Structure 1
């Protein structure tokens, strides 16, 4: 029967037909919709997987860049620690040096704090007037909260605190710090938390952000600042003044622990000395002399609720809190100045003419042995300032930094249990998230300087502790224009900077690297396997990096996987003041430029920036003898003569070192891991 044979039946049939068509359309639409949804889901899945891979690659690149920054930072600290061996060497060799050399060595140690007496307040502050034209902050002693606010507002406007007030603050801080024990004690209550901050390293914006988020220090808002206030950043003086002024207003509610950078020898390498001399050209040296002593009076730790130990670095299996509580901490002038005078049994006595008489087997110095730490006491402080936790059990030398030790979870448990403590909070290491928890929750690493290596490289963090509660972590990151860039741009910038400093490390060991490469290039083809290249890089540079993963950034690799090892140096070279200078000499000067500059700055007691030809030769001979760098004296004499441009018998040492700088011919395009 057709669809339209009868009106009644026809209507029914038409309705059935219409329903069938509608049902078919609905089914078809549903199938189409289902297919579209399936396509959308699959497309979303593809996009999600792509984004996850993309994010993972960015994370990997960021991780590699941070590994480079940290490895080179620790290698530099290792070089800094090795200076203590150099100073030991010079003391050991007093009897072997001629009069000229001995006179220079005497000057060196006269200017390193070994013979410095406590500075007189009136001699320094009383002779410095504040002119009417000075429009910066004027502090009123005794200090109050008003002075804290005044200082913060002035520093926000990039004003400089006058040297008169800087010295006043330092002398006042010294007076109060002298009354403090080696370990200060703090208590929390349910209604009174305490905030702990890690390394700040001269980053004023981070400190301002912490105070903005967490409030200013007060009796009801106590703080612990766990060392490394200075160096590397541009505002170490501002941070130091803010912390000391807050400390003087709230001496029982703001705790300042000494870090490994509260050390005048560290400041010579890592920037704070230079910052002071630039900001205070007239009175900078006086500030440095007083600051050197103030450092020694900083407490070395804080104990909270008799349960939580807060120290800058870490512990070792021999850490003894009884010894640390009883030693005279002000005897620790610098980690780079170990108590050699006692151990060496060398007498050094300077007569009025400046010559040196040295007699082995007898101790005669301006300071009696009681004014120096014992070797055991010195090592105890070095351990708590320099050590780092690791997952491996036991206690073993900190080969990365060259000072302190690595300590495992068993060492943590042993020391905490022995002293009836529950937790160790330490700083000293940059962490991507600003903090890290390890050793079964018993050790917390806290780092408060965000963007430490490069913009976007890491977040900062602080901790709030309340009685009987778990620590609360607060993270932040100071933002700038570059921080608003897309993540891939920030990672690329950080990566570029990391590979640049790694290349500089490579060029400083170019001769040694080439020798290592050629040793494995038996066919003299100029190519070696990737494994051989990676082994050579690690054995010479000792940076413990994932060299295989980094290889495409550092050298040319052919289709068979062989590395053209000379391509590692294609885009970088060291400038030389002499065209015919041997490569190993220019590399040596570049490699040890920071050490040489520190020694020069110590010798250059009048801060003239000049060093005599004889002093330069003597300094280098001593350095050469200790480091065994095998550079002929004739080369040094020729070099010294060449850089004495006006032939006045003096060398502008800063200009001399600037002659040995690395030139990057070009930057490689961003073909990274993405």
Structure 2
């Protein structure tokens, strides 16, 4: 007869197998069961911390690594994993403290020394940006004379005159598929045109679906351009009668973020009243500096392109209300039950370019659902979590059928939670080439019924996710 400890070891081994298969959910479940049988074994917490890192539950990872350290203060791997989790949520000073501990306890660990140096560099960079941040910084468009900017005669792509055309988008798609770029004059034109369009939109865009139309809601695409092409192949390109809404996090992590951002913006310019974009937590400066979009803009175009994108991101709407039935926003609900749709309508997003650490904007971009009633601390370490009772009250108070949100991987590409009142849709299949999830999108017709569609990842050129991230620390996550 096996002992409790032997059963725990067997569960840990099952968890390790699931982890190796990139099935983070099963791995976490196995490690949790092992912990229930033997709560005094630090390895189980450390292993679960790593699985939580992989599933972006950085707050849980920090708690697990901390418990492992309590049980064994010399457990170097636990300090290392906690440092990585802190890095992921941009708590670089906490990460630095842990990396210093790792180097002290394992002086021959070359990788830890590299990570420590990288962490010190990040802190200096963050402090530099804080020091130069001023409220009335001039726009990156200042001094940009597009009229006199010449597109060379040997440029072999379609051209923009004064407005976007379907022909330009078709040509741009082919260029991007073949690893080509568009001329930087057109990049500037697209971003500036869309910044003006979205700046004038409401913080919560309100739309109805006409009798002969349909709307497709897409979740995170995270720079996975070739998977977005597959979504369009299966579901059709945007058109006057086929509207699209992209619910944030279209940049960072994946290495074709500029291609996706320019494509979505080109469609927004072409079809301003039938193509919609919500802001996500990755359409923000601090995330872009760590997770690759800033580096990609500089590598493919220049720093000014990143700054213009940054200005346009801060102008994006934060939510879309569909037929007064569905509120679509990137993260989720609020720490206060009194928040209404009117509060979102009144929110002046132009007074606050970045979401900060608290408030309505931060919660709209960062929060997540949980199965337990009430509210709880965030598994991410940022924002908070809300239960089915919170969702039910919010929907009842605001006359909604459901909220639709994104922000989290779902293995089937989507999930209906909270008695169907909280729906998550995620459109980046095989996320970061490391999670065996499907992608999904939702089609909504004039009857306002939700039709879910799943799709698989497709091959892409051999460029890894995070290829443009400006630090090696994020390769760990």
1:468-547 alignment to 2 at 5 Å?
468-480=447-459
Give the structure 1 partner of residue 36 of structure 2: none
Change (3 A) 1:171 1:61: closer
SS of aligned partner of 1:238: helix
Change (3 A) 1:128 1:155: same
Q: For 1:195 and 1:136, how far apart are their aligned partners in 2?
A: 29
Change (3 A) 1:147 1:417: same
- Deviations for 1:271-290, whole angstroms, at most 9, x for unmatched residues? 1111111112xxx1111221
User: Contact 2:252–2:293 at 8 Å: present in 1 too?
Assistant: yes
- Deviations for 1:623-674, whole angstroms, at most 9, x for unmatched residues? xxxxxxxxxxxxxxxxxxxxxxxxxxxxxxx7xx79x999xxxxxxxxxxxx
User: Contact 1:464–1:471 at 8 Å: present in 2 too?
Assistant: yes
Q: Could you tell me how far 1:479 is from its partner in structure 2?
A: 3.0
Q: Could you tell me how far 1:414 is from its partner in structure 2?
A: 1.0
* 1:438 and 2:456 matched: no
1:162-181 alignment to 2 at 5 Å?
162-181=183-202
Give the structure 1 partner of residue 342 of structure 2: 322
1:93-492 alignment to 2 at 5 Å?
107-109=128-130, 111-112=132-133, 114-120=135-141, 122-123=143-144, 125=146, 128-280=149-301, 284-318=302-336, 319-335=339-355, 337=356, 379-398=359-378, 400-454=379-433, 457-480=436-459
1:49-60 alignment to 2 at 5 Å?
none
Give the structure 2 partner of residue 648 of structure 1: none
Q: For 2:286 and 2:440, how far apart are their aligned partners in 1?
A: 28
Q: For 1:387 and 1:200, how far apart are their aligned partners in 2?
A: 18
Equivalent residues, number: 377
1:586-601 alignment to 2 at 5 Å?
none
Q: Could you tell me how far 1:78 is from its partner in structure 2?
A: 5.5
Q: For 1:451 and 1:661, how far apart are their aligned partners in 2?
A: 17
Q: Could you tell me how far 1:108 is from its partner in structure 2?
A: 3.1
CA RMSD of superposed structures (Å): 3.3
Q: For 2:21 and 2:369, how far apart are their aligned partners in 1?
A: 25
Q: For 1:108 and 1:153, how far apart are their aligned partners in 2?
A: 37
Normalising by the residue count of structure 2, what TM-score does the alignment of the two structures yield? 0.71
Q: For 1:287 and 1:64, how far apart are their aligned partners in 2?
A: 36
Q: For 2:93 and 2:354, how far apart are their aligned partners in 1?
A: 13
* 1:74 and 2:71 matched: no
Q: For 1:481 and 1:138, how far apart are their aligned partners in 2?
A: 27
User: Contact 1:140–1:147 at 8 Å: present in 2 too?
Assistant: no
User: Contact 2:253–2:432 at 8 Å: present in 1 too?
Assistant: no
Gap runs ≥5 in structure 1:
1-53, 87-102, 339-377, 483-496, 498-596, 602-653, 663-674
User: Contact 2:157–2:171 at 8 Å: present in 1 too?
Assistant: no
User: Contact 1:77–1:402 at 8 Å: present in 2 too?
Assistant: no
Change (3 A) 1:393 1:249: same
Change (3 A) 1:188 1:214: same
Q: For 2:125 and 2:435, how far apart are their aligned partners in 1?
A: 46
Q: Could you tell me how far 1:160 is from its partner in structure 2?
A: 0.5
Deviates more, 1:406-415 or 1:110-119: 110-119
Q: Could you tell me how far 1:478 is from its partner in structure 2?
A: 2.2
Q: For 1:105 and 1:448, how far apart are their aligned partners in 2?
A: 31
Normalising by the residue count of structure 1, what TM-score does the alignment of the two structures yield? 0.51
User: Contact 1:315–1:412 at 8 Å: present in 2 too?
Assistant: yes
1:63 aligned to 23, 27, 37, which one? 23
SS of aligned partner of 1:194: strand
Q: For 1:105 and 1:246, how far apart are their aligned partners in 2?
A: 34
Q: Could you tell me how far 1:133 is from its partner in structure 2?
A: 3.2
Structure whose alpha-carbon radius of gyration is higher? 1
User: Contact 1:296–1:331 at 8 Å: present in 2 too?
Assistant: no
Change (3 A) 1:200 1:104: closer
User: Contact 1:383–1:403 at 8 Å: present in 2 too?
Assistant: no
Q: Could you tell me how far 1:121 is from its partner in structure 2?
A: 5.3
- Deviations for 1:550-593, whole angstroms, at most 9, x for unmatched residues? xxxxxxxxxxxxxxxxxxxxxxxxxxxxxxxxxxxxxxxxxxxx
